[in-house]
Amino acid sequence: MSNRVYNILFHTHTISGIIISAALYVIFFAGSFSFFRDEIVGWERNEPVSEASRLQAVDLDIMLDTLAAQKELYGRDISFTKYFNERRINVNLSASKDTTASEEAKKRSFFYMDTDNFSTYTYASNYSIGEFLYRLHFFAQLNLWGTTGYILAGFVAFFFLFAIITGVLVHWKKIVSNFYVFRPMASLKNIWTDAHTALGIIGLPYQFVYAVTGACLIIGTSVMSPAVVNFMYDGDTNQLYEDFGFNPPKFKMANEHLLETPEINQFLEKATSKWEGFEVTTLQVFNYGDANMKVGLEGHTQYDLKFAGRGEIIYNVLTGDEEHVVNPFTETSYLDAATAVITQLHFGDYGGVPLKVIYFILGIVSCFVIISGVMIWLVARDKKHIAEKKRKFNAWLVWIYLAACLSLFPVTALTFVLVKVFLHDFGPERMTDIYHIFFYSWLAFAAFFVFKRDNYFTNKYSLISGALIGLLVPLANGIISGNWPWITFPAGYYHIFIIDVFWVLISITALTIGLSLKRKAAEKSPVKIRTNKSNVNKDVGADTLSVGDL
Helix, strand, coil in percent for the chain, rounding step 5: 60, 10, 30
Comparing 420 with 145, the larger pLDDT belongs to: 420
CB 547, CB 456: distance < 8 Å: yes
CA–CA separation, 360 and 368 (whole Å): 13
Taking phi first (over 0 means left), then psi (-120 to 50 degrees means alpha), and beta for anything else, what does residue 86 get?
A: beta
Instruction: Give the pLDDT confidence of 302-315 residue by residue, as tens digits.
Output: 888 888 888 899 99
Average pLDDT, the chain: 82
Between residues 442 and 16, which one has the greater pLDDT? 442
- For residue 444, the model assigns a pLDDT of 96
Q: How high is the pLDDT of residue 249?
A: 81
Overall average pLDDT of the 466-473 stretch: 96
Say what percent of the chain tops pLDDT 70.
79
- CA Rg value for the chain: 27
Look at phi and psi of residue 482 and say left if phi exceeds 0, alpha if psi is from -120 to 50, else beta.
left
Distance (Å, rounded) from C-alpha 423 to C-alpha 522?
47
Q: Are strands 278-286 and 78-81 parallel, antiparallel or unpaired?
A: antiparallel
**Residue with more model confidence, 125 or 349:** 125
Partners of 76 in the beta sheet?
none
* Nearest partner of 112 among 90, 94, 144, judged by Cα: 90
Beta strands in 435-548 (DSSP E): 528-530, 537-539
Q: pTM of the full predicted structure?
A: 0.83
State how far the Cα of 522 lies from the Cα of 543, in Å rounded to an integer. 9
Task: Estimate to the nearest angstrom the gap between the alpha carbon of 427 and the chain centroid.
Answer: 24
What does the pLDDT look like over 486-503, one tens digit per residue? 999 998 888 899 999 999
Q: Are 169 and 9 in contact (CB under 8 A)?
A: yes
Contacts of residue 550, defined as CB under 8 A and 6 or more positions apart, other chains included, come to 195, 459, 513, 517
pLDDT at residue 529 is higher than 60: no
Q: Which residue has the higher pLDDT, 454 or 443?
A: 443
Q: Give residues with Cβ within 8 angstroms of 388, minimum separation 6.
A: 526, 527, 528
> 146 with 200: CB under 8 angstroms?
no
∠ Cα 153 159 161 (to 5°): 105
CA distance 319 to 239: 32
Closest among 126, 115, 123 to 41, alpha carbons compared = 126
Lowest mean pLDDT across 17-21, 379-383, 535-539: 535-539
Domain positions in the chain are 1-47+128-244+351-380, 51-115+248-302+304-339, 409-550
Check residue 539 and give its pLDDT.
40
pLDDT surpassing 80 at residue 257 = yes
Could you tell me the pLDDT band of residue 538, with boundaries at 50, 70 and 90?
very low
- State the average pLDDT over residues 223-243: 61
Confidence tier at 543 by pLDDT (50, 70, 90): very low
CB 64 within 8 A of CB 392: no
| Confidence category of residue 284, pLDDT binned at 50, 70, 90 | very high
| Percentage of the chain modeled with pLDDT above 90 | 31
The model's pLDDT over 79-133, given as tens digits with 9 standing for 90+, comes to 999 888 888 899 999 999 888 888 888 889 999 998 888 889 999 999 999 999 9
pLDDT band for 1, please (50, 70, 90 cuts). low
DSSP 168-180: HHHHGGGTTTGGG
Confidence class for position 333, pLDDT limits 50, 70, 90: confident
Higher pLDDT, 234 or 95: 95
Helix (H, G, I), strand (E, B) or coil at 11: helix
Model confidence over 377-407: pLDDT tens digits?
777 667 777 777 888 888 888 889 899 999 9
- What's residue 451's pLDDT? 93
Nearest by Cα to 98 from 256, 250, 248: 256
Angstrom distances, CA of residue 85 to CA of 18, 55, 88, 122: 37, 10, 9, 18
Give yes or no for residue 188 having a pLDDT over 90: no
Q: What is the pLDDT of residue 523?
A: 40
pLDDT confidence bin for 193, thresholds 50/70/90: low
Pick the residue with more confidence: 455 or 523?
455
The pLDDT of residue 545 is 34
Question: Quick check: 537 pLDDT over 70?
Answer: no
pLDDT above 70: residue 469:
yes
Is pLDDT above 80 for 56?
Answer: no
